Structure 1
Amino acid sequence: MTTVEIEYCVPCGFLDRAEAIQHALLEQFGDRLDSVALVTGDHGVLTVAVDGETVWDKADDEYDVDDITRRVRGAL
């Protein structure tokens, strides 16, 4: 099984985005994932990692839940 971590910036108010990503991933892949963890961070971070490997980073890519879901699917 697979573990996903969504690290989000608390001071930036990215909790809503992190929760939207978490919800989409659990809805799509819930039976294939061990966990989808929200990890607090700062300095503008919003990343998604599958088994420790970053598959999406706000610093490099536009925020698009569908794109993030596709990237996670590709890493499963």
Structure 2
Amino acid sequence: MATVEIEYCVPCGMLDRALTVEEAILQQFADDLDRVSLVMGDHGIFVVRVDDEVVFDKEEDGFDVDEIVRRVRSQLSA
């Protein structure tokens, strides 16, 4: 079983994005996960990790929920 962590920028108002990603991940992988955690951050951060491995970082990638779900799937099957 895996752990997913979604770290998002509170001052930037990214909670809605974090919740959208969390919901999509839970809908797809709830039976394969131990935990999905929302982690409050700042300085514009929005990073998704699977077992401490970064699968999405908004600094490097455009925000796309479907792509984030695909990356989580890839990491879970690795």
Question: What are the ranges of 5 or more consecutive residues in structure 1 without an aligned counterpart?
Answer: none
SS at match of 1:54: strand
Deviation at 1:35, TM superposition (A): 0.6
Q: How far apart, in 1, do the equivalents of 2:59 and 2:36 lie? A: 21
Q: How far apart, in 1, do the equivalents of 2:14 and 2:60 lie? A: 16
Question: What are the ranges of 5 or more consecutive residues in structure 2 without an aligned counterpart?
Answer: none
The amino acid across from 2:8 in the alignment is: Y
2:35 maps to 1:35? yes
Q: How far apart, in 1, do the equivalents of 2:52 and 2:68 lie? A: 15
Count of residues in correspondence between the two structures = 76
Q: How far apart, in 2, do the equivalents of 1:53 and 1:31 lie? A: 20
Q: How far apart, in 1, do the equivalents of 2:22 and 2:33 lie? A: 11
Q: How far apart, in 1, do the equivalents of 2:22 and 2:34 lie? A: 13
Tell me the C-alpha RMSD between the 2 structures.
0.3
Identify the residue that residue 26 of structure 1 maps to in structure 2: 26
Identify the residue that residue 12 of structure 1 maps to in structure 2: 12
Q: How far apart, in 1, do the equivalents of 2:49 and 2:6 lie? A: 7
SS at match of 1:47: strand
Identify the residue that residue 75 of structure 1 maps to in structure 2: 75
Per the normalisation by structure 2, the TM-score is: 0.97
Q: How far apart, in 2, do the equivalents of 1:39 and 1:51 lie? A: 14
Per the normalisation by structure 1, the TM-score is: 0.99
